[in-house]
Amino acid sequence: MSDPRQTSSSPSSSSQPPSARRKVVLITGATRGIGRSIAENLSGDYDLILAASSEKSAEKLRHTHPKAVVFVADLAEVNSLESILGQLSLERLDAVVPCAGVTGHRPVHDTTPEQWQRLFSINLFSVAELVRCLLPALRRAQGSVIAINSGAGHFSGEGFGPYAASKFALRALTDSLREEERGRVRVSSIHPGKVDSDMQREIQSLRGNEYNAERFIRPETIAKAVRFALETSQESMTEEITIRPVQR
């Protein structure tokens, strides 16, 4: 596992007064799809810490976001996250945006224990561990957790069971966290419908459907929703945003 890449202007520094320092946002899943659009949207105004799943993807992020701190973490290896995050030495963190996720659109009878484990490790357990490890830094900054959930966090159906189960559980996690941290950390849950992404292409291919990007939400739209939640004035909290395609 690679060490985090620290820079001379590390976001962990808190020597500047709150009014002068740029806010720091940690994003997972920033190499593609929604996560990539979130990083692009925020990069001009925030200091970014970006998690990559491999050294190869980390190099791409360093090229795209040369001012960001980039580190490698396999989110399926939940027990390794505490050590990896500890190497960032974060005193304050203004937001964490857990965006990394994997699909699991298959019937319950065709889903193995190993597939269930990987699905929940990445879509749920890694988010819980990220939050647990980062809460002290988030509390010091009166920061935000902005979890990228899914429309499947509210609705399930045939072939959606494993994926929806992980997203229902993620919604339960964020609902509980919101009440536990109310007044200290703001917690937002964003539920996109079908988004134009590599994951959506995979889903439509599995279903034998022709892919038409115009039917799906642009990932840039979800990034704007994240910015809205992040920049909601301090006395208020964007608890949940649901964004659906116009076409069903």
Domain count along the chain: 1
Average pLDDT over residues 30-34: 91
User: Where residue 4 falls among pLDDT bands split at 50, 70, 90?
Assistant: very low
d(CA 92, CA 45): 17
> Which pLDDT score, from 0 to 100, does residue 8 have?
35
Q: What percent of the chain has pLDDT over 90?
A: 73
> Which pLDDT score, from 0 to 100, does residue 194 have?
85
**209 DSSP β-pair partners:** none
Cα 109 to chain centroid, rounded = 29
Domain that holds residue 130: 24-243
Q: What percent of the chain has pLDDT over 70?
A: 88
Residue keyed to tokens 């740029």: 22
* Inside any domain, residue 143: yes
DSSP secondary structure string for all residues of 169-209: HHHHHHHHHHHHTTTTSEEEEEEE-SBSSHHHHHHHHHTTP
The catalytic position among 163, 181, 187, 199 is 163
Q: Tell me: the pLDDT tens digits for 88-129?
A: 999 999 999 999 998 877 889 999 999 999 999 999 999 999
Residue keyed to tokens 């974060």: 90
Which CATH number fits the domain that encloses residue 62? 3.40.50.720
- Say which amino acid occupies 129: E
- Residue with the bigger pLDDT between 204 and 39: it is 39
* Inside any domain, residue 102: yes
Q: Tell me: the pLDDT tens digits for 192-227?
A: 988 877 776 776 666 677 767 677 899 999 999 999
End-to-end Cα distance, the chain: 42
> Which pLDDT score, from 0 to 100, does residue 158 have?
85
pLDDT, averaged across the chain: 89
For residue 18, how many other CB atoms are within 10 A of its CB? 11
For residue 227, how many other CB atoms are within 10 A of its CB? 15
For residue 238, how many other CB atoms are within 10 A of its CB? 19
Q: Tell me: the pLDDT tens digits for 58-79?
A: 999 999 999 999 999 999 999 9
* Inside any domain, residue 11: no
* Inside any domain, residue 120: yes
For 23, phi then psi, to 5°, come to -75, 155
Residue 159, pLDDT > 90, answer no
* Inside any domain, residue 167: yes
> Which pLDDT score, from 0 to 100, does residue 216 have?
82
User: Where residue 39 falls among pLDDT bands split at 50, 70, 90?
Assistant: very high
Task: Please confirm, yes or no, whether 163 is among the known catalytic residues.
Answer: yes
The token duo for 185 is: 């950390």
* Inside any domain, residue 130: yes
**What's the pTM value of the predicted model, to 2 decimals?**
0.88
> Which pLDDT score, from 0 to 100, does residue 105 have?
76
Cβ contact 99:30 at 8 Å: yes
* Inside any domain, residue 28: yes
* Inside any domain, residue 93: yes
